């Protein structure tokens, strides 16, 4: 504001002196014009009077008027020169002040203002940068931890094996899951017959029973095969070597008599079928011979 006030004062001074110079120049031109007119009427330098018949007094008055006009012209010329010099000085001062003001304003907006803003910053950007970097580091660590957890979960999903888990469960609880002892025939009051006996009266019934058992065993075999294939497709894998080893360990861990862990769910049907067919055929043969 101080520079602007000084610039305004210098500008007003320049304008004032310039107006005075213009006014003095106008007055000087008017005085020169009047002096030229008076000199044209009275004549100068002792020449012949241009107007004849004039009295001496009139010539003397005109000469006095010419001298007065000359003095006025000289006075106005001096005033004009003085005002012109003042105007020149005021213009130079105004131009210098104008250049200094422009330089100061430019320096303020280009250099001083950024420095002032930096001083008022009070470390805001550095604090914000540290806070955001800390936040980004925490988020990246969280993302890495989440990714690692997802990879572990994916590995656990890939490692799911129902057959292996089943064999492990059987191995952990051998007493509960090992086959029990075979039921033995309990004779009643001296009855020592431990085989299936056949009589002519029972031959037709036993033959029908044999046919029904064979049909039922065949259907059960087909059904178990379909169930086994369906389980294999559902699980998407076959029992691995680890499952086989686990099954063997389970067999060894059971108490005597050693339990039999079957690799196929329908193997007991085959043994039952062969047992029934063999015994029924034997007894039917004995009955026919008798």
Residue spans of the domains in the chain: they are 2-44+54-109, 164-178+197-289
pLDDT digits (tens, 9 = 90+) for 60-110: 666 777 777 778 778 888 888 888 898 899 999 999 989 989 998 899 899
**Rounded CA separation 78/35 (Å):** 16
Q: For residues 154-166, b (16+ Cβ closer than 10 Å) or e, as one string?
A: eeeeeeebebbee
pLDDT digits (tens, 9 = 90+) for 69-78: 778 778 888 8
Task: Note down pLDDT in tens along the chain; length 290 residues.
Answer: 787 888 889 899 999 999 988 888 888 888 778 777 766 655 544 444 444 445 676 666 667 777 777 787 788 888 888 888 988 999 999 999 899 899 988 998 998 888 888 888 778 888 999 999 999 999 999 999 999 999 999 999 998 998 888 888 888 988 888 877 887 878 777 777 777 776 777 778 878 888 888 898 889 888 888 887 886 776 555 444 444 444 444 444 444 333 333 344 455 666 666 666 666 666 556 555 55
Q: What is the pLDDT of residue 1?
A: 75
109 DSSP assignment: I
CATH class, 2-44+54-109 region = mainly alpha
Cβ of 281: how many Cβ atoms within 10 Å?
A: 11
pLDDT digits (tens, 9 = 90+) for 114-134: 888 888 877 888 899 999 999
**Rounded CA separation 51/173 (Å):** 161
**Rounded CA separation 230/224 (Å):** 10
């Amino acid at each position: 504001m101080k520079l602007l006030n000084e610039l305004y004062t210098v500008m007003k001074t320049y304008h004032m002196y310039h107006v005075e110079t213009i006014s003095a120049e106008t007055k000087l031109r008017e005085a020169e014009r009047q002096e030229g007119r008076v000199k044209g009427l009275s004549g100068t330098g002792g020449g012949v009077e241009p107007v004849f018949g004039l009295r001496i007094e009139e010539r003397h008055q005109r000469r006095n008027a010419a001298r007065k006009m000359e003095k006025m012209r000289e006075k106005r010329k001096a005033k004009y020169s003085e005002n012109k010099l003042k105007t020149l000085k005021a213009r130079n001062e105004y131009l210098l002040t104008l250049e200094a003001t422009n330089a100061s304003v430019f320096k303020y907006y280009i250099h001083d203002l950024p420095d002032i803003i930096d001083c008022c910053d009070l470390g805001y950007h550095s604090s914000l940068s540290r806070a955001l970097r800390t936040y980004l580091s925490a988020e990246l660590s969280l993302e890495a931890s989440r990714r690692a957890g997802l990879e572990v979960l994916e590995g656990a999903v890939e490692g799911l094996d129902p057959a292996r888990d089943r064999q492990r469960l059987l191995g952990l609880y051998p007493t509960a899951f090992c086959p029990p002892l075979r039921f033995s025939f309990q004779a009643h009051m001296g009855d020592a017959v431990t085989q299936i006996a056949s009589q002519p009266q029972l031959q037709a019934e036993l033959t029908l029973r044999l046919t029904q058992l064979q049909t039922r065993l065949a259907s059960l075999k087909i059904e178990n095969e379909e169930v086994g294939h369906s389980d294999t497709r559902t699980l998407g894998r076959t029992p691995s070597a680890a499952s086989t080893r686990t099954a063997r360990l389970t067999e060894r861990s059971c108490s005597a008599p050693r339990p039999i862990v079957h690799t196929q769910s329908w193997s007991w049907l085959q043994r039952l079928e062969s047992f029934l067919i063999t015994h029924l055929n034997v007894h039917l043969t004995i009955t026919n011979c008798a």
